[in-house]
Amino acid sequence: MASPLWAPERVVTADDAAELVGEQFGELRGAAVEPLATGWDNTVYLVGGTWVFRFPRRAIALPGVEREIAVLPALAPRLPLPIPVPELVGRPSRRFPWPFWGGRLVPGAELAEAELSEAERLNAARDIGAFLGALHDPRLVAAVDTAADTDLPRDPMRRGDPGVRAPRARQGLAQLGEQGLRAADHGLDRFLADAARLAAPAGADVVSHGDLHVRHVLVGGDGSAAGIIDWGDLCLADPVVDLSLAYGGFAGPARAAFLSAYGRPVDAEREVAARVLAVNLSVVLAAYAADLGHARLLTESLAGIDRALAD
């Protein structure tokens, strides 16, 4: 891609981060600053071995940063797995014109990088399914609304709409083919062509992570889920927006464990929409990984495309 979606507009270096944090949080002045992760929307540093600071890379991410700051403190106590909680909120300044924030480290390895065995993957699936069961509790919508005093957008990226996501997935698959990263799959193409004619599932929206994939799940050494990170796409949406991980991240017994722990039936319409989004997210992650040379993420993302339609 000539101008990839993940191209940054601002990059905060480790030295920049040390100065920004030290200026606004005197207790951390002089603390060690270590690179922790880089995503599409944020550059992330570990400060003083305890605090994780997220600095936006693109202006489009700023509403999500504000949502994280407003909502995550209210959401965290209501969920069965750790999530980041903004405790140190950085103000825009002449040095860096965007807000940023720091929260205590949630330990764990990205599911994309963990190389779990099948047994360990089943542990992760069960934990994530139970987590989403709690997150998607309809009562949480009003509770978060009241506690955070903010309105969440309704699926602003239209991730729950197969009519939007299936054509994007087909385009992305064609690009992967041109790069020699994945052979043509006529069965998958037919599935996506059929799905592109479908409407988004109708029903009540739930509180949704909004961008739940294998980079945003942290796991421990035995595969158990350790936390869910990167909530910049937090929104109200149909459950399929998060349930796509059941299809892109897991298959066979692990997926069955995920959906059992989730505790609510997934009808045929939602299953199709979730599979479509799983393909779409996996395709984009594969393109990102190939562009930046992330070998493990590329392997995991390409496997996610195959898992999305597997039993």
In a structure prediction context, what are the per-residue pLDDT tens digits for the chain, which is 311 residues long? Answer: 445 788 899 999 999 999 999 999 999 999 999 999 998 899 999 999 999 999 999 999 999 999 999 999 999 999 999 999 999 999 999 999 999 999 999 999 999 999 999 899 999 999 999 999 999 999 999 888 777 777 899 999 999 999 999 999 999 999 999 999 999 999 999 999 999 999 999 999 999 999 999 999 999 989 999 999 999 999 999 999 999 999 999 999 999 999 999 999 999 999 999 999 999 999 999 999 999 999 999 999 999 999 999 99
Distance CA 191, CA 188 (A): 5
Nearest to 61 by CA among 84, 94, 38, 88: 38
- Classify residue 223 by burial, with Cβ atoms within 10 Å: 0-12, 13-18, 19+: buried
Specify the residue for token string 């945003």: 216
* Residue-level pLDDT at 35: 97
DSSP class of residue 54 equals: E
Per-residue model confidence (pLDDT) at position 3: 56
The two most distant CA atoms of the chain are separated, in Å, by 58
Fold topology of 14-104: Phosphorylase Kinase; domain 1 (3.30.200)
| Domain residue ranges of the chain, discontinuous segments joined by + | 14-104, 109-309
Please tell me what DSSP assigns to residue 83. -
Q: How many CA atoms lie within 13 A of 210 on its CB side?
A: 19
Model pTM? 0.95
The angle, 0 to 180 degrees and rounded to 10, between the axes of the packed helices 118-135 and 240-248 is 180
**CATH architecture of structural domain 109-309:** Alpha-Beta Complex (3.90)
